[in-house]
Every structure is written in C-alpha cells, then in structure tokens.
Structure 1
Amino acid sequence: MTQERVALPVEPGAVKATPFGRFVPALLLSQLGFCVALVTPLQLLLALHLNAIAGADATTAFGIVTGFGALVALLFNPIAGRVSDRTRARLGRRRTWILSGSLALALTLIAMSATTQVWQVVVLWCLVQAAANFQYAANNALVADQVPAARRGGVSGLVGFAASVGPIAGIALANTAPAGSSRQWIIVAAVAVGASLLAVVLLRDPRSTAPKPPLDLRTILSTFWFNPRRHPAFGWAWLTRFLIMCGYASGGYNTFFLMQRFGYDEHDVGGIVLAIGIVSVLCVAITSIAAGYLSDAVKRQKPFAIFAGIAVAAALVMMAFAPDLTMVFVASILLGLGAGSFLAVDLALCVRVLPNEEEAGKDLAIINIANSLPQSLVPFFAPMLLALGGFPAFFLTLAVVALLGAVAVIRIPEIGCEHLTGRWTAPITRA
C-alpha cells in the first residue's frame, strides 16, 4: 500500500508551506531561470563561442567541454540534494540554494564570455554545472516537500513547460545582442538571477528543526547510491529517464548539424535554431500541460512515458535522414510532442516512487543523475558515431536508446498498483 508522507519538524512559529497559488509561479520562475542559464549555452552560446576560439575543432571541443561539465553535474547533483536536505538556515532548506546557486551561476556565465582558450571554457563550464545543480536539486525537492500527490501530475507538466520555454526565451533574448558577443552571456545571466530572486520572494520554506545527520565520508559516498533490489521501482524510473534523456540530449548538436549538413553560417544559424526551438516548445507547451492534468484525471502515468520514448525515437530517425530544413521542423514537432508527454509525468512519477520522502533532495538528486549522465555520455560517444557514419549514425543510435526507454517504463508500477508484484511490475518499497 502507499505510504503517508511524514513531514519534517519545523521551527515553532515558522511560516507554513507556500499557498498553491503562489507556489506554482515561484517554482516555474526558479525552473525558468535555471533553464535559461544552463540550456541556452548548451544549445547556442557554447557552440558559437567555441567556433570562434577553436575553429575546425569546435565539435570536438564542444564534446570535451560538455562532457567534463556533465561529469561535474553527476558529482554535484546528489551532494547538492544531500546538503539541501540537511540545511537549517533561516531562509529555508530550498530557498537558500535557489538564491545562492543562481547568483554563483550568473557570475560564472559572465566570466565565460572572457575566455579565450578551450581549457578556460572547460573550467568555467564545470563551475556553471556545479552552481546550477544546487538550484536544480532544490527545485525538484520542493515538489516532494509541498505538492500533494493528487496534484503532482499537473505541477510536473508545468515544470516541463518551464524547462522547454527557458532555453527558447534565452535564445530569443541572446539573439538581441550580436552573435558571439559578451552581451549574450550577460543577458542570460541577468534573466536567470531575476527569475530566481522573484521565486525566492514568493516561496515560503519552513525552517526545519530536525537533527542534522553527520556529513562524513560514508554519508557523502552513500549519497551516490541506492539499492535497486530493495527499491526496484525507483531503479526502473531512473533507467527510464536516463534512456529517454539520452535521445533528448541530441539537441545539443543541432547547431553543428545545421551548419555542417545544410551549410548555414554562424550569423544565420542562431535564428534557425530559435525558430526550430519555438516550434518544438509550442508542442511541448500544449502536450506537457494537457498531459500532466490528464494524467492526474485518469490516474495513469505510464502510457504518457511510453508514447514519449516512441515519439522521441521516431523524431530522431527523421532527423537522421532529413533531406531539407522542412523535415527538420517536422521532426522537431514530433520531438516536442514526445518531450512534452514525458515531462508531464516524469517528475510526478519519480516523486511517487521515492524510497524515503524525508530525504527527497538526496533521492531526487540520484534521479537527476539520469539527466546529467547523458550530457556526458552523448558528447563522449558522438565523435565516434559521427566518424563512423556521420549524423545518421548519431541520430539512429540515440533513437534506439530512446526506444529502450519506452520499454523500461513497463516495469514501473502504475498509480494505485505500488504494492503489486508480477512479471511486468516492480513493487515500491520504502526505507
């Protein structure tokens, strides 16, 4: 049977949790600021910057930069979640890291514009990832802390919407400045800080008075591990996100794809990436919000995730053989529909199968490794795949991986079936 949530003790006289009408815009603002700051460089600014300083070796340099950055994210996200869980600052467990993470992130992005060597970009991008993951871990933990189970699908869909709108808003704003200029980085940093500050003002984050567990080496190492035999549903949720996000990680190569396959130069490619992104985001917006609330209404999550894996795989097959820009736009529409369907239920599904809701920050941070790891593995394998078969080999390989993600969903219990065991279900067990 499902478990009742156990609230952590809070300081006497402390403010209550955020009213739902304020919580949703606050969470969306924080997620929007995070995505503007982190994904806009991945989809546009890093490619332009590396093209200017690395020339013909830009794609290899991009893989090195994003690969190292993703490894840092892999390390820092679970640690950030653990630190957030045990924070007892007056500002709150989550608001403290939304604020400090966004400020550190913005300062590092501004410094990025002054880099002139690839190794400098690597160092600063690693710092960007470290700061961003403190904010990201806090954002996700807020859902487990303050959203009732019956409303998590809708909130998950709205978070997915913010995750898709953020990069497009960032690209649109960055394109108001000259391509490759430092003003592009400054604009992105300013938007990220502004959105996060508004979120902190709107949020209420009761200060916990629960005893802090020791933060020794054993505790830190345990942050990176959960027992998949004791918590199989959590393990399948992790694998599902990892496989589907590997397919979605192909978007980081869209700028290079357009420049190399269709011959666009750096002055034109920004506008095309923005146009493709807008089309995809419109699909994500419609699908994520509608599917999130529909998931709550029908009390089903798995069909939406299965459709997502199939749609992402089909979109990547279309990209592999796209003869012109029209086909790229059609593939982006399908990718947006799949991404929206997945984002609508993914966070709600992961929160539902948490091993221990009292350590939501740490456990969701482990799930977030499934976001970070594809950002490292895809750039690592991309040069080999591109050398073997160009962009068709790259996209087709990721299509197969995304399709496997649709298969992995089958092993996760559906809403209301958490206690069942069987060939195709893995029961939820909690610490």
Structure 2
Amino acid sequence: MIRTDESNQTAGVSRPVSLARLLGFLLLPTAALMAGFNGIQQVFVPGQVEAMDPSSKVASLAILTAFAAIGSMIGIPMGGALSDRTRSRFGKRTPWILGLTIISAALMIAMGASNNLVMFGIIYTLLWLAANMYQGALVAILPDRVPEDRRGVASAILGLGPPIGAMIGVNVASHVGPAWGYTFLALGLIVTCVMLVFGAPEASSLTPVKIVETPREKGAGIAGFFEAFREPDFTHAFISRFMLFMAYFTVSGYLFYTLSDYIGIKQIPDGNVPVAVSTLVTITVGVWVVIATFCGWLADKLDRRKLFVGISAVGLAATMVVPVIMPTWNGMVIYSILSGAFIGTYFAVDLAVMSLVLPHKEHEGRDLGILTVATGLPQIMSSVVAGGLITYAGGYPALYLFGAFCALVAGVVVFLIKKVR
C-alpha cells in the first residue's frame, strides 16, 4: 500500500509534546505492564498452581502458560492492527490503551480471587489476551511518534521498563498475598495509563488517510496480514527475537521451581522461595538498569545496534551454563548478575532494531505487533518444552542447556539483518 498523507502524528496535538516528556510518560505504563507480567507469572501463578494442584504442578503450569501465551500471541498483533485503523479525536492508540487497561485491571483482581484451577486458567488466558492487546497498541507509539534517528535513545529508555517493572512486580508479589498483590498491580496499570494519556496526549486521527492498494495487496486477506515476512530483514529479526525469548522464557518461567526443586530449599537463605526469587530478580534488575543505560547510549553513538544485540545473545547463552556447572545458591547469584548484564544490553537496543526493520509505514502497529509475537509464541512452546525437559530429559540442567542453545542461535541470526548496522 502507498500512503498519500505523511503528516506527523504529533501534529494537531493541542500542546506540543517533547520527546523527553513522551518517553518519560511512556516508560511508566511500560514498567507497570511488566510489573504485572512478572509478578503474576513468576510468583503468583506458580504459587497458586502449587496450592491448587501440588502433585502435578509442573504439568499444570506448562498447560496454563501455554494457553495464556496463545492469548498473548493473538493479542499483540491484534492490538497493533486494530489501533492502526482507529480514527478518533483522541488518536488511534489512546482509545484502545484506555479500554484495555480497565479490562486488564479487572481480570487481575479476578485472578487473585480465583481458587479453582480451570477458572483460574480461563481468567489467566483472558488477562494475557487483553494485556497483550494493550501492549500492541502501546509499543506502536514508538514508530508513530519517535523519529528514526532518536530511536536508539528511545529504545534504551523504554528498555528500562522491563527490569524496573520486574523488580517492582516480583517484590510486590513476594511480600503481599495474591488478593492485595493483584489489586496493587492493577492500580499501577490504571494510574500510569492515565498519566500517559493526559501527560503526553496523542494527536487526533480523524483526518482521513488515503491509502492506495497495490495489485499485490488487493484481496490478500490473511496472507496480506503477514506480508512483512516477504522482507528478509524482517524475517531474520523475527527469528532472532523468537529464539532469544525462547531461551529467556524456558528458563525464567521455572525460576520458582528451579530454586525449590533443583537448588534445594536448604541452600536458599531462610528457605523462603518467593523471597529468594525476589532477591535474584532484584540483583538482575540492578545490573540490567546500569548496563542498559550505558549500552543503549553507546550503541546509538556508534550506530552499531545489531552488534550489541548479537553480543548480548551470545553472552546470555554462556551465562545459562552457570547453573548447570554450579547448582548452588551462589551459582544462581552469579547467573543473575551475568544475565542482568546481557539481557540489559539486549533490551536497551532490541526495540530500536525492531522498529528499523518495519517494511510498511501504514502498518507499523501491525508489523511491530507481529515482531512482538516473537515474545508470545516462545511462551507457548517454552512451557511445553520446559515441562518435557524437566520431567523426561534430564531435569533442570537440560532446561538451562536448551536455553543456552536458543540464545546462541538468536545471536547468530541477528547478524543476517542487512538494513541495521
């Protein structure tokens, strides 16, 4: 398609919004969303599943995570694609961001009150669908409103959202019971969303945009939705991101059980698994924030974003061998420090790389959403693969070695991208 109106997205906003202001207000809901994802998935869900089904907790967690990840995989591109086509005086992303925030918050509170495994799984899946539709609309703000030459800086700043959110979410979940913990996470989502909408308002999208369909795109249907995969750089970016997050989710989703069943409660300080998870995540985040801030700036300065992504993926692969050769509490601390360094580097630059391989200006929300599916699809597969590795293929050492292999592949494939240096 050819877009005939290339007006700036921020034109028409009643008062100008500086890049610093936009990124500041965008960082807050990003962190709040990640707080919800991490607090729920790393602490609340494993603990609640164990309480409801202690004898089959690993298999039950794998099944529930798979269904929730399906919701994630559908939700992210759906949120981006629907908001691409939305026309309102409040902009095209804002109506979806507001509505989906309210729905997600309500589902969080319902999850905290659930004590039936089947109902819990249904709410979990619906929450991941709604929250990821919200994420799809939220991340589309980057290509909408940030110039290409500033996306490295933007990526570095927004890359702080996941570690800050993880630290807040896991600490809240570890020290507060599910009922109040879910409520606090829901309130954080609502408050930061309102701050974004009113603090950095979006331009009206009521001005019609003329789109001329090329012969190839007419009647493309479902195939047209995935047309971005015709571009090799887009495909390589998707594969690299998929493999990196396959490594990440395969391991991180079972951190709770790694500590309790592999490292052993006797080796954990005070024998408190939730607090141990919180401690390790806090260590990871502390390193992550320092590294991400520096590496994001340096990658932008050197204009070598692809290089930083590749190095971080290979480094993460080496890091995942640590728990295999050192299955102790000290080994997990070392693992947390190193993974924070390499994951921090990855997140500082990854979003900039993704935004620079988008092939179609008029479908940036949809295509960025599809790239973000590379975080949801691994969740589906990783939960099943992780359960199988733990149960049938050698336990937790096999889990970490599989993660190392996936991270290594991610690092190799990213160097095939030609458009980004």
Structure 2 residue 381 is matched with structure 1 residue 396: no
For 1:86, the equivalent position in structure 2 comes to 85
From the superposition, tell whether residues 204 and 258 of structure 1 become closer, same or farther in structure 2 (CA, over 3 Å).
Answer: same
Q: Mapping of 1:191-270 within 5 angstroms?
A: 191-208=188-205, 209-211=207-209, 221-222=222-223, 224-228=225-229, 230-249=230-249, 250-264=251-265, 268-270=272-274
The more displaced of 311-320 and 361-370 is 311-320
From the superposition, tell whether residues 222 and 17 of structure 1 become closer, same or farther in structure 2 (CA, over 3 Å).
Answer: farther
CA distance in structure 2 between the partners assigned to 1:128 and 1:385 by the alignment: 27
Residue 251 of structure 1, CA deviation: 0.7
Which amino acid in the other structure matches residue 158 of structure 1?
I
- Given that residues 223 and 362 in structure 1 are in contact (C-alpha distance below 8 angstroms), is that contact kept between their aligned partners in structure 2? no
Q: Mapping of 1:22-421 within 5 angstroms?
A: 22-178=21-177, 181-208=178-205, 209-211=207-209, 221-222=222-223, 224-228=225-229, 230-249=230-249, 250-264=251-265, 268-386=272-390, 387-413=392-418, 415=420
Q: Aligned with 2:265: secondary structure? A: coil
From the superposition, tell whether residues 81 and 268 of structure 1 become closer, same or farther in structure 2 (CA, over 3 Å).
Answer: same
- Given that residues 102 and 192 in structure 1 are in contact (C-alpha distance below 8 angstroms), is that contact kept between their aligned partners in structure 2? yes
**TM-score normalized by the length of structure 1:** 0.89
| Cα distance per residue 1:330-371 (max 9 Å; x no partner) | 011111111111111111111111111221100001101101
CA distance in structure 2 between the partners assigned to 1:39 and 1:176 by the alignment: 14
Structure 2 residue 19 is matched with structure 1 residue 20: yes
- Percent of residue pairs bearing the same amino acid type: 27
From the superposition, tell whether residues 192 and 52 of structure 1 become closer, same or farther in structure 2 (CA, over 3 Å).
Answer: same
Residue 227 of structure 1, CA deviation: 4.8
CA distance in structure 1 between the partners assigned to 2:12 and 2:138 by the alignment: 24
Residue 319 of structure 1, CA deviation: 2.0
| Cα distance per residue 1:280-326 (max 9 Å; x no partner) | 01111112121111111111112111111111111211123332111
CA distance in structure 2 between the partners assigned to 1:102 and 1:212 by the alignment: 30
From the superposition, tell whether residues 10 and 315 of structure 1 become closer, same or farther in structure 2 (CA, over 3 Å).
Answer: closer
CA distance in structure 1 between the partners assigned to 2:8 and 2:283 by the alignment: 46
The structure 1 segments of at least 4 consecutive aligned residues displaced by more than 4 Å after TM superposition are 8-14, 211-214
Residue 68 of structure 1, CA deviation: 0.5
Residue 6 of structure 1, CA deviation: 6.9
For 1:428, the equivalent position in structure 2 comes to none
From the superposition, tell whether residues 117 and 322 of structure 1 become closer, same or farther in structure 2 (CA, over 3 Å).
Answer: farther
The more displaced of 308-317 and 203-212 is 203-212
CA distance in structure 2 between the partners assigned to 1:10 and 1:289 by the alignment: 27
- Given that residues 156 and 345 in structure 1 are in contact (C-alpha distance below 8 angstroms), is that contact kept between their aligned partners in structure 2? yes
Which amino acid in the other structure matches residue 396 of structure 2?
F
Residue 220 of structure 1, CA deviation: 6.7
The more displaced of 24-33 and 191-200 is 191-200
The more displaced of 406-415 and 11-20 is 11-20
- Given that residues 39 and 171 in structure 2 are in contact (C-alpha distance below 8 angstroms), is that contact kept between their aligned partners in structure 1? no
Residue 268 of structure 1, CA deviation: 1.2
Q: Aligned with 2:43: secondary structure? A: helix
Which amino acid in the other structure matches residue 273 of structure 1?
V
CA distance in structure 1 between the partners assigned to 2:149 and 2:8 by the alignment: 23
CA distance in structure 2 between the partners assigned to 1:248 and 1:260 by the alignment: 19
- Given that residues 318 and 327 in structure 1 are in contact (C-alpha distance below 8 angstroms), is that contact kept between their aligned partners in structure 2? yes
CA distance in structure 1 between the partners assigned to 2:320 and 2:246 by the alignment: 11
CA distance in structure 2 between the partners assigned to 1:175 and 1:353 by the alignment: 39
RMSD over equivalenced CA pairs, Å: 2.5
List alignment gaps of at least 5 residues for structure 1.
418-431
Which amino acid in the other structure matches residue 331 of structure 1?
Y
CA distance in structure 2 between the partners assigned to 1:359 and 1:344 by the alignment: 24
Which amino acid in the other structure matches residue 255 of structure 2?
N
Give the paired residue count.
408
CA distance in structure 2 between the partners assigned to 1:136 and 1:231 by the alignment: 24
CA distance in structure 2 between the partners assigned to 1:245 and 1:12 by the alignment: 36
CA distance in structure 2 between the partners assigned to 1:66 and 1:5 by the alignment: 43
- Given that residues 228 and 360 in structure 2 are in contact (C-alpha distance below 8 angstroms), is that contact kept between their aligned partners in structure 1? no
- Given that residues 6 and 357 in structure 1 are in contact (C-alpha distance below 8 angstroms), is that contact kept between their aligned partners in structure 2? no
From the superposition, tell whether residues 330 and 222 of structure 1 become closer, same or farther in structure 2 (CA, over 3 Å).
Answer: same
- Given that residues 152 and 299 in structure 2 are in contact (C-alpha distance below 8 angstroms), is that contact kept between their aligned partners in structure 1? yes
Residue 14 of structure 1, CA deviation: 4.5
